[in-house]
Amino acid sequence: MADIDRLLAIMARLRDPQSGCPWDVQQDFASIAPYTIEEAYEVADAIDRGDLDDLKDELGDLLLQVVFHARMAQEQGAFEFADVVAAISDKMVRRHPHVFADAAVQGAEVEDVEAQTVAWEEHKRREREDSGHHDRSALAGIARGLPEWQRAVKLQKRAARVGFDWPDVTPVIAKLHEEIEEVRVEFAALDADPDDAAARDRLEDEIGDVLFVCANLARHAKVDVGAALRRANLKFERRFRAMETLAEADGQQLAGQSLDAQDRYWDRAKAAEKS
């Protein structure tokens, strides 16, 4: 506890209106929230890279965000860090009756990971009702602040629990082809009249449908959408940097070359990876 007490004291000092850091004193929940999200992604990045030393540092940065928010709440008389710890501790015990409750308690047992996931969602639903939230939709409680790809998957999973889901991946792929064709139609409409605001709105809508179906495709394949996109981003970055290196080795600059010439460098970079 001495370590966390030191961190809490550091944050209190940083937030001191007279002797603290001007930047830290100026912040509020809204201004800090983007940093909280960024730090969570940096934790995920360290995990992806398998860098445990960096993971230690990034987890510290993420913990600082929790301490920062808790300190601001304490200054307003709302709650403090100890309340955050107590709340999550109580929640974890409450949502794991199969671990912490008497084994004889009816309904405490879970058979496997999937059953635990269902039980977890049921605990959340009851908690929402107990706290006065009366939204009884199967989609209730899905945060709007999530990255949209993550929210798409959560919406689809919730709908699937009441049977609104394709039975396998085949109709999902068919739906993806259908949505891509609708994107082509809207592109054609926009090409015919680039100033048509309605056509641009329809194009955005159809591209959104494509992305939503792609998220559904990943869900049916049991592939994490974020991990798949991170892998694609890393692949693109790796190959593009290789293209630049190849061009430099030829005494060329990649910028300014024709697309055909750049494509040839891409093919060389891709072939080098495979070899």
The pair of structure tokens assigned to 208 is: 């959104």
Query: Which pLDDT score is estimated for 83?
Result: 97
As given in the structure block, the two tokens for residue 80 are 């403090």
Secondary structure letter of residue 168 according to DSSP: S
Q: What is the pLDDT of residue 104?
A: 47
Q: What dihedral angle (degrees, nearest 10) is formed by the CA atoms of 220, 183, 147, 24?
A: 160
pLDDT at residue 146, rounded to an integer: 80
Q: Compute the average pLDDT of residues 9-16.
A: 97
User: What's the rounded Cα separation, in Å, for the pair 87 and 18?
Assistant: 32
Q: Which of 6-10, 47-51, 105-109, 110-114 has the highest mean pLDDT?
A: 6-10
Rounded to the nearest angstrom, the gap between the alpha carbon of residue 140 and the centroid of all alpha carbons in its chain is: 19
Question: Which two structure tokens, joined as six digits, stand for 245?
Answer: 């290196």
DSSP designation for 255:
T
Digit-coded pLDDT (tens) for 218-272:
999 999 998 899 899 999 999 999 999 999 999 999 998 999 999 999 999 999 9
CA 235 to CA 250: how far, in whole Å? Answer: 23
34 DSSP assignment: H
The pLDDT of residue 188: 94
pLDDT band per the 50, 70, 90 thresholds, residue 139: confident
Residue keyed to tokens 């989609």: 139
Residue 248 has what pLDDT?
Answer: 94
**End-to-end Cα separation, the chain, in angstroms:** 53
* 199 within 8 A of 189, measured Cβ to Cβ: yes
Q: What is the pLDDT of residues 29-64, one digit of tens each?
A: 999 999 999 999 899 889 988 999 999 999 999 999
Reported pTM: 0.65
The pLDDT of residue 127 is 64
